[in-house]
Amino acid sequence: MITLIPEHAKSKAVLMQLFKALSPISVLSFDLDDTLYDNKPVIAAAEQAMLNALAKHAPVTATTDSDFWWQQRLKLAKVTPDIRHDLGRWRLLAIDAGLQSLGLSLCEAGEIAQLAYDAFMQARTRITVQLEIKQLLQQLAKQYQLIALTNGNACIDKMGISHWFEFSLQAGPAGRMKPYPDMYLKAAQRLNIAPGQILHIGDSHRADVMGALSAGCQAAWLDHHNSRVTVLPHIRMANVQSLQQLIK
């Protein structure tokens, strides 16, 4: 294991640990949620927007909470397990089913479910990327092709960062969610490169590290919690800004 520490930061916490030698990289693939921004307040605001829309258009839902709607999603997933790979469709259909369980007609439930889902998505895609992260992406894009692979609903266009990216793939429309290899392999095919030329960066050991490695990509893990794992990435970072060390 090699620890890389910039000269100006030797008195601070370790920024990057190199566990495996990196092969030549031409593409940097980014997870979005909790990698380029803190996703927790975004989801909390989106959930509240959904609840507000439901209470407005279907007063019978006024006493329900996020747990009630999560249970609707779990029930749906038991019947249709593959729905989990498309988070947007999963949420929309679960809202519809929950409204019907509360006594709404099929037609009325469908209309109100769409209104609630739209409110959720409007808040869900209202994401602010910090200036220093945008500056980092701008620098990296001069040397590498950048892509995004997300299990969630984030939109790089609405985040104001799409001009630095070749494209973004989202689980569901682009295949099964990470750690399944679908999106990694689809990205490599679309770019006409070998998966090994991709360095994927993400915060989830299971989805981002295990997924990237299983697809033949290289992996950089943004480890927020200094976790202990048996399967190591190529790189472990304490901060996404550590990627500046990849800039020549």
Residues assigned a catalytic role: 31
DSSP state of 17: E
Contacts 24+ apart (CB under 8 A), 211-220: 211/178, 211/179, 211/180, 211/181, 211/184, 212/29, 212/184, 214/179, 214/181, 215/181, 215/184, 215/185, 215/188, 216/184, 217/29, 217/184, 217/188, 218/20, 218/22, 218/23, 218/25
Q: How would you list the strands of the sheet with 198-202, edge to edge?
A: 2-4, 16-18, 235-237, 218-222, 198-202, 27-30, 145-150, 167-170
Which tokens belong to 65? 């909470």
d(C-alpha 223, C-alpha 203), whole Å: 6
Which tokens belong to 77? 């997933």
d(C-alpha 43, C-alpha 41), whole Å: 6
16: which strand partners? 4, 237
Q: Are strands 2-4 and 16-18 parallel, antiparallel or unpaired?
A: antiparallel
